[in-house]
Amino acid sequence: MKEVYLLRRPVEAITEHDFLVARAPALVPGQGEVLTKTLYISLDPYLALRMRREIPDQLSGPPYPIVGRTIGQVIEAGSSGFAEGDLVLGFGRWRTYDARPAGDLRRIDPSDTPPAAYLGALGHSGFTAWLGLAIGLPKASETFVVSGAAGAVGSIAGQLAKQRGCRVIGIAGGAAKCEQVITELGFDDCLDHQQPDLSGRLRTLAPNGIDLHFENVGSKTLDPVLANMRPRSRIVLCGLVQHYQDAAPISFANFRLLLERSIRLEPFSIYDHQDQAERAQQELIAAVRSGSLRFAQTVTEGIDQVPKAFVAMLAGQGTGKHLALVA
């Protein structure tokens, strides 16, 4: 068995040298635990915050185990109610096998949906996109802008807004990503934030202003968007991935426009809205199965490649949901 560990609290940007992939002792499940073989590990930006702030404070070490969302196949079920061969979703350590309490796992149905989708479009990423729209309440004919448009959350949010009749403008990093969200996901337009004058280019595409913005990135996208928001418009704040790698203050040139234009900015966390998770997943499953909702994945194979894949994800490489295929 192999496991990925964190060697130290990262001081600057997280690199591959902050991780260790090493052999670990074989697992013997305890009372009420289920032994699983790890199939997929979800590579999520929020884990960078935990690595920088929480993991070394909560656990003895180093090295420190890393816990994230995984999909596994049941190897030993005991009297858990699961059966050998079942696919289960839950939080687990970054390792090739895991033993977890049965109550912490949920069986997933892969019969007509790829299992990995339950870590992305049908999992937390999809729920985050769905919830952001439930909070922002997009209306038909409104102009909707989403940053991180080629990412796991932004790509879903833009499609859901389009289905509600919005004109959807994505913001993504690179011409290839912009082309993808237009041609494959059906966005109306997309702007490359790596090119100059994002604010001016937004003004050209949305001369009457932006009604609703879904923010995933941080100041480099939110500040130009603020300059183009309509009076009494709305912003839902989902993430700040641009700022997860350091603790420097976040600066805005256009912050005062929140007051001057009576713009509502609402941050949210899916953990405050778990009562809506089941409804969201049922709607997302129906959309994926009908083909009306598409999703992209960037999949890296092998437990040894997990550190490299995680760092690449934080650097904005790849599109859609980032996953490690372990087995």
Predicted local confidence at residue 113, as pLDDT: 85
Predicted local confidence at residue 214, as pLDDT: 98
Predicted local confidence at residue 61, as pLDDT: 73
In this structure, which long-range contacts are made by residues 152-155, counting pairs with CB atoms below 8 Å and at least 24 apart in sequence?
152/120, 152/121, 152/125, 152/295, 152/320, 152/321, 152/322, 153/125, 153/128, 153/129, 153/216, 153/238, 153/239, 154/129, 154/214, 154/216, 155/181, 155/185, 155/295, 155/296, 155/319, 155/320
Per cent of the chain over pLDDT 90 is 86
Q: How confident is the model at residue 99 (pLDDT cuts 50, 70, 90)?
A: very high
Is CATH 3.40.50.920 correct for 2-120+295-325? no
Predicted local confidence at residue 187, as pLDDT: 98
Predicted local confidence at residue 32, as pLDDT: 87
- pTM, whole model, 2 decimals? 0.92
Q: How confident is the model at residue 142 (pLDDT cuts 50, 70, 90)?
A: very high
Q: How confident is the model at residue 117 (pLDDT cuts 50, 70, 90)?
A: very high
Average pLDDT for the chain = 94
Question: Could you report the per-residue pLDDT of 8-60, keeping only the tens digit for each?
Answer: 888 888 999 999 999 999 898 888 899 999 999 999 999 998 898 776 666 66
Predicted local confidence at residue 169, as pLDDT: 98
Residue 143: beta bridge partners? Answer: 167
Is CATH 1.20.200.10 correct for 124-271? no
Predicted local confidence at residue 60, as pLDDT: 66
Q: Name which residue leads in pLDDT, 55 or 150.
A: 150
| Cβ-based burial of 303 (10 A; exposed 0-12, middle 13-18, buried ≥19) | buried
Domain with CATH 3.40.50.720 in the chain: 124-271
Predicted local confidence at residue 53, as pLDDT: 78
Q: How confident is the model at residue 156 (pLDDT cuts 50, 70, 90)?
A: very high
The average pLDDT across 178-206 equals: 97
Q: How confident is the model at residue 246 (pLDDT cuts 50, 70, 90)?
A: confident
Predicted local confidence at residue 29, as pLDDT: 87
pLDDT at residue 193 tops 70: yes
Domain with CATH 3.90.180.10 in the chain: 2-120+295-325
Q: Name which residue leads in pLDDT, 214 or 248.
A: 214
Question: Could you report the per-residue pLDDT of 281-315, keeping only the tens digit for each?
Answer: 999 999 999 999 999 999 999 999 999 999 999 99
Q: How far apart are CA 103 and CA 106, in angstroms?
A: 8
The average pLDDT across 137-159 equals: 98
Range of lowest pLDDT (1-5, 6-10, 69-73, 287-291): 6-10
173 neighbors 192 (Cβ within 8 angstroms): yes
